[in-house]
Each structure stands twice: as structure tokens, then as C-alpha cells.
Amino acid sequence: MDVPGPIRVLLADDHPVLRAGVKYLLQSDPQFVVVAEAADGEAVLRLLEQEAVDVLVIDLAMPGMGGLQCIKEIKARGLPVKIVVFSMYGDEQYIKEALRAGALAYVEKEAVDKELLAAVRAASRGRFYLNQGRMQNLLGALLLDKEQVDPRDPYQVLSAREREVLRLIARGYSLTEIGELLSLSVKTVETYKSRIMQKLGFCKKSQLIAYALEQGVLGAREL
């Protein structure tokens, strides 16, 4: 489904000259308007709370909070923005990590003129975008990875941050204390807790703690 009116874009990259070039490219098409710019992940999160944004175009390598961590935080907070990664890295591992974190599209910087507009347009409609060669390679790799995860072990579906929150809950920390330890808002910690319980199939905190103890999450099991 198309976004009504111009597609509102937040552009995040720590190189001002590159941002200016990409902004010019996007706004050369009347379908796009760059409503804000950011140089790091923290600024992205602040702007998403302030601006109405349809699509975030974000680099992975930025100072402070990098692009991948920022994407994960966006998803944890439930912010309704579609994400396009725009990166110099073409390694498939980076692409897989970005897609797993919640990006819909991945474009390499060397292909900016050919693919970025198409990627932003596709993402705004909720569609994935990779160039054809990348798509074929990654579909096979992602399916193989999925087969290698043991479906009998729900712990494997938890992200690293979710495992960290689970460990702290099991140790008796309150949500406020967890937020202070991890530099997260209480609302974000509550979201992590809800996601953990949903993924593990629990409805009570006591079940969560019992599971953590059973799995050795308090210290023996690697987070």
C-alpha cells in the first residue's frame, strides 16, 4: 500500500557531504522529502519521537550508537518506521544481521544512483528490497540458518539483549533497576519483558524465573 503524499525520509549518516548528496538524490524525485537528518543512532531515536517519518535510511557505521543497534532499539520501542540500510559493507553477514534486526531493504553505497530510490519506495510499502543477486544468495543462506536452529530450544530465539534482560529479571532486579543498568527506559524494558514471555510461551513472571533458573541463565549459560 502506497504512503499518501510524499514519502517522508529521515537520513542518518555521520558524513555530512554524503548526506547532502543522498538528500539531493532523494529530493530530485517529487515522491520523496527528507524531513530530518542525523549523524548517530541516538539522534535518530530522538528525531523519530519528534517527527512523522515513513522511511529511515541509515548507515551501519556511525559513532556512538551504530546503525544495527539503532534498528534493534527502534523495533524494541515499536516505532512505526520502515528501515532501509545504506552501507559501504557488502558482506552477506552484515545484510543478514540488518534484515534480522528489522530492516526491509539493504543498499550498498556504490549502487546509490541505481537502487536507493527503488529501495526507499519498496520499504515505504512494507516490501523487502535487495538486488536480484543478493536476494537469491540470502534466501538460501537464511533458510539454511533457520534449519540449523533447534526448534526445541526456545532460548535460541531470544536476542542478546532479551537474554540480558531475562538474566536480570531472574536475579530479582526491578524493571526500573534494569533500565538504569542497561541505559533503557522502563517502557523499553517492559517491551523486552513482554517479548521474552511471548517467545517463551509464559504468562507469569514466576514461570520466567523458573525457566531462567532451569536454563542456567544466572551465570552458567553464555549470554
- Please give the pLDDT value at position 142: 52
Confidence of residue 31 (pLDDT cuts 50, 70, 90): very high
Helix, strand or coil for residue 88? coil
Answer yes or no: are the C-beta atoms of 60 and 16 closer than 8 Å: no
Cell of 200: 517463551
C-alpha 165/C-alpha 175 separation (Å) is: 9
Per-residue pLDDT tens over the stretch 192-212: 988 888 887 777 777 777 777
The count of other CB atoms within 10 Å of the CB of residue 77 is 16
- Please give the pLDDT value at position 144: 46
pTM (predicted TM-score): 0.61
Query: Would the CATH topology of 7-145 be identical to that of 154-215?
Result: no
C-alpha 105/C-alpha 27 separation (Å) is: 19
Provide the H-helix boundaries in the chain: 16-27, 41-50, 67-77, 92-101, 112-124, 132-148, 160-170, 175-182, 186-200, 205-215
Q: What's the CATH architecture for 154-215?
A: Orthogonal Bundle (1.10)
Answer yes or no: are the C-beta atoms of 124 and 2 closer than 8 Å: yes
Question: Which one is predicted more confidently, 48 or 216?
Answer: 48
Residue with cell 530479582: 172
Domain segments of the chain as ranges = 7-145, 154-215
Q: Give the residue among 107, 109, 119 at the shortest CA–CA distance from 7.
A: 119
Kindly give, in sequence order, each residue whose CB lies less than 8 Å from that of residue 128, ignoring residues fewer than 6 positions away.
99, 104, 105, 122
N- to C-terminal Cα separation, the chain: 39
The highest-level CATH class for domain 7-145 is alpha beta
The top-scoring range by mean pLDDT among 4-8, 90-94, 205-209 is 4-8
